[in-house]
Amino acid sequence: MIKAIVSGVGFGLVLTFITGPVFFALIKTSIEKGFHAGVSLALGVVCSDVVFVGAILFGSQYIDVSDHTKVIAGVVGAAILFALGLYYMFKKSEINYENKVPSGADRFGYVLKGFLMCIFNPTLLFHWTVVIGAASTTFIVGTPHRSLHIAIMFLTILIIQFGMDTLKAFYANKLRDKISVKFIHRLNEVAGIALIIASLVLIDKLVTHFVFSAPAGS
């Protein structure tokens, strides 16, 4: 039990500090819209992680997805990431200095944004595949209560990730009074560029292969 918790804490800390488009989006949202909006975005990220884990652990047992389908899904995901990147780059900047609590509809919108930003990012699927592989190696078949240990490990990872994202939102929110709208505009541009780069890297991995070679077996 302790081993599962320690492993979960370790992987949770590693995953939460992997800098990417979601990191910039979380910081930007927390500064621009306030702490509550940042936490809502983080909740959407955690929901997407739950879907990833469930799909890998259970979906692969019942659904055989062809390589062609994976490429199509990846291209669609890249297009969505690219569109989000353009949106951030040209989005009008504003700061919620009063830190108003978002309405129910707005809160749901932030949750949905965090969910979609991650669910269409196959890089995160790769990260979770690696973690699940490590869990299977740590708790090999035949280990007493193996399923329970793996479940505790993943639950710990999700709790750590959400807790760390909440801390990011909290401290980013504290900086809001010291930050100008111009800085937020620059942060929007950085977040947009990060999303666009992620989409182009994904397209190159799946289709063009100018920099990255084709995945094995494709």
**Percent over 70 (pLDDT), the chain:** 79
Extract long-range pairs of 146-149: CB within 8 Å, 24+ residues apart.
Answer: 149/1, 149/3, 149/4
Q: Which amino acid is at 62?
A: Y
Query: Could you identify the residue written with the tokens 């979609």?
Result: 116
- Please indicate, yes or no, if residue 178 is contained in any of the structural domains: yes
How far apart are alpha carbons 58 and 211 in whole angstroms? Answer: 33
Helix (H, G, I), strand (E, B) or coil at 210: coil
- Please indicate, yes or no, if residue 159 is contained in any of the structural domains: yes
Question: Does residue 115 carry a pLDDT above 80?
Answer: yes
Question: Does residue 2 carry a pLDDT above 70?
Answer: yes
Query: Could you identify the residue written with the tokens 């995945």?
Result: 215
Q: What confidence tens digit (pLDDT) does each residue in 27-76 have? A: 878 887 888 888 999 999 899 888 877 776 665 544 455 666 667 767 77
Taking phi over 0 as left and psi of -120 to 50 as alpha, with beta for the rest, 10 belongs to alpha
pLDDT band, very low/low/confident/very high, at 118 (cuts 50, 70, 90) = confident
- Please indicate, yes or no, if residue 218 is contained in any of the structural domains: no
108-141: b or e for each residue (b if 16 or more CB lie within 10 Å)? Answer: ebbbebbbbbbbbbbbbbebbeebbeebeeebee
- Please indicate, yes or no, if residue 47 is contained in any of the structural domains: yes
- Please indicate, yes or no, if residue 215 is contained in any of the structural domains: no
The pLDDT of residue 43 is: 92
- Please indicate, yes or no, if residue 157 is contained in any of the structural domains: yes
The pLDDT of residue 216 is: 52
Q: What confidence tens digit (pLDDT) does each residue in 130-151 have? A: 777 777 766 776 778 777 888 8
Nearest to 77 by CA among 18, 17, 125: 125
- Please indicate, yes or no, if residue 216 is contained in any of the structural domains: no
Q: Which domain holds residue 140?
A: 1-210
Question: Does residue 82 carry a pLDDT above 80?
Answer: yes
The pLDDT of residue 40 is: 92
Q: How many domains does the chain have?
A: 1
- Please indicate, yes or no, if residue 163 is contained in any of the structural domains: yes
The pLDDT of residue 131 is: 76
Segments of the chain assigned E as strands:
none
Question: Does residue 218 carry a pLDDT above 60?
Answer: no
Q: Is the pTM of this model over 0.75?
A: no
Nearest to 132 by CA among 205, 26, 215, 59: 59
